Amino acid sequence: MRSLILTRILPPNGSYRAAHGVEGCGASSREAAWSGVSETTQRTVTARWVVPLTSLRDSLRTKRFAALRCVRGSVTALGWQDTYKDQVKATALRKSIPICTFLVLLLPACSLFSPEPVSSSFETMGTRATLTLAGKESSKLSGAADKTKQLMQDLNAELSVYRADSAVSRLNAVAGVRPLEVPEHTRRLFELSKVYGELTSGAFDVTIGPVVDLWRPVKGQTPSLPTDDALTEALARVDFRQIQLMDGAAFLARRGMRVDLGGIGKGYAVDLAWRECRNLAVRNFMFDLGGNVRVSGESESGLAWSIAIRNPFDRSATLARIEMPDDWAVATSGQYERFIEIEGRRYGHIVDPRTGYPAAGLAGVTILAPNATMADALSTGLFVLGPKRSIPIVKKTGAEAVFIPDKQPAELWVTPGIRSKLTVLIPAKVQVLPGW
């Protein structure tokens, strides 16, 4: 058996970074065996795998060759190193040619040519959206990207609190004065926001706007802590139950109330885009809006879509990779990207409605859920609640969660259902959520 050192992660979608090492050993025409030592766990991983007929094309395309073996052989870390590419290719080809030729001749219709995934990105809703399609559906990319882009722009025009003419801004402007007609998506989002407000006992509250504003940096001013009076006054205007919904209209019942859909709007937008793609008969894709992701089908050659969680303690590194269940969504909330620094301390943009202060204790929360609206709202709400109080909610909704306490060395507290789908890429302790 030949020995190769494969050190670069080969992701199905090309989006995450090197962090893990695997050694691979040898390959034959029908059978492959891989073994190596994981740099992270220091454990030896081995896999044997028989090449199925449908993967013949992959054996000619060496990148897949390596990836498939690892995945089918249940080795979760995938490895690749460019400098060994040609060598592996030569080995794989030399050993595979006789049987390949025979079977390709016999089964031309079964030849699975799986090109690389293709993607299209655009700026929207204050962040970046990326639609990625499995290679076999690449011809549908530009049509689907145009449609989803239009959808996002229309939704942003309804929801943005940075636009005075949006439906949400106009409703905020008449809070406590009168009801206002609101468009369908805005109304639906209000309904859902109230549901997640109840579910989290008010930890998720979209009327948090006045308090969030107190923690926003103001241009030209040295940031300072809000006074207790200012916090008390702003908190008196926070209560999602005061959003009253009527036929086609909404009323914010208290003067000075302000809705801010920043904790749920992007997830809702992802679900819209996801549905639109499915309506356009796109089956295998992933839609990502600023870290709110929903997947459909498979990436290519039967590989599940994977997503990466960034390391909250080192933004340039990847903490873990998660294999996504089909059709599911994922969102992460943390205080590391958007925060204000006051007197040398960082204060994040997710606020605890009980205290008016930015939620603390966690470095990040990642939620996997059947839809992106739920993942987005829960990631924000459970970030506020903390792991212990989140457990009943996670159980009730059937979501999966990864909590990263704000302490080093890094630890991951996970729901039992996510363990087999999670590959941790840095030295970190992984344990089931205490109290589960």
Interface with ligand ADP, residue 20, by CB under 6 A: no
| Nearest residue to Mg ion on Cβ basis | 380
Interface with ligand ADP, residue 288, by CB under 6 A: no
Which amino acid type is present at position 187?
A: R
How far, CA to CA in Å, does 51 sit from each of 28, 55, 65, 73, 78?
Answer: 9, 7, 9, 11, 17
Whose Cβ is closer to ligand ADP: residue 73's or residue 263's? 263
| Of the residues 24, 79, 263, 387, which one makes contact with Mg ion according to CB under 5 A | 263
Residue 212 binds which of Mg ion, ligand ADP, none (CB < 5-8 A, kind-dependent): ligand ADP
Whose Cβ is closer to ligand ADP: residue 25's or residue 340's? 340
Interface with Mg ion, residue 260, by CB under 5 A: no
Residue 256 token pair: 């000075």
Residue 391 near residue 382 (C-beta atoms within 8 A): no
| Of the residues 96, 166, 186, 380, which one makes contact with Mg ion according to CB under 5 A | 380
Residue 302 token pair: 């039967």
Site for ligand ADP in 347-386 (CB under 6 A): 349-351, 353, 376, 379-380, 384
Report how far residue 92's alpha carbon sits from residue 70's, in angstroms, rounded to the nearest whole number: 15
Site for ligand ADP in 381-410 (CB under 6 A): 384
How many residues touch Mg ion under the rule CB under 5 A: the total is 4
Residue 262 binds which of ligand ADP, Mg ion, none (CB < 5-8 A, kind-dependent): ligand ADP
Q: How far is the CB of 212 from ligand ADP (least distance, A)?
A: 5
Look at phi and psi of residue 176 and say left if phi exceeds 0, alpha if psi is from -120 to 50, else beta.
left
Q: How far is the CB of 117 from ligand ADP (least distance, A)?
A: 24
Whose Cβ is closer to ligand ADP: residue 212's or residue 418's? 212
Interface with ligand ADP, residue 212, by CB under 6 A: yes
How far, CA to CA in Å, does 17 sit from each of 166, 237, 389?
Answer: 39, 44, 33
| Of the residues 208, 293, 363, 367, which one makes contact with ligand ADP according to CB under 6 A | 208
Question: Site residues (CB under 5 A) for Mg ion?
Answer: 263, 376, 379-380
Question: Site residues (CB under 6 A) for ligand ADP?
Answer: 204-206, 208, 212, 260, 262-263, 266, 290-291, 333, 338, 349-351, 353, 376, 379-380, 384
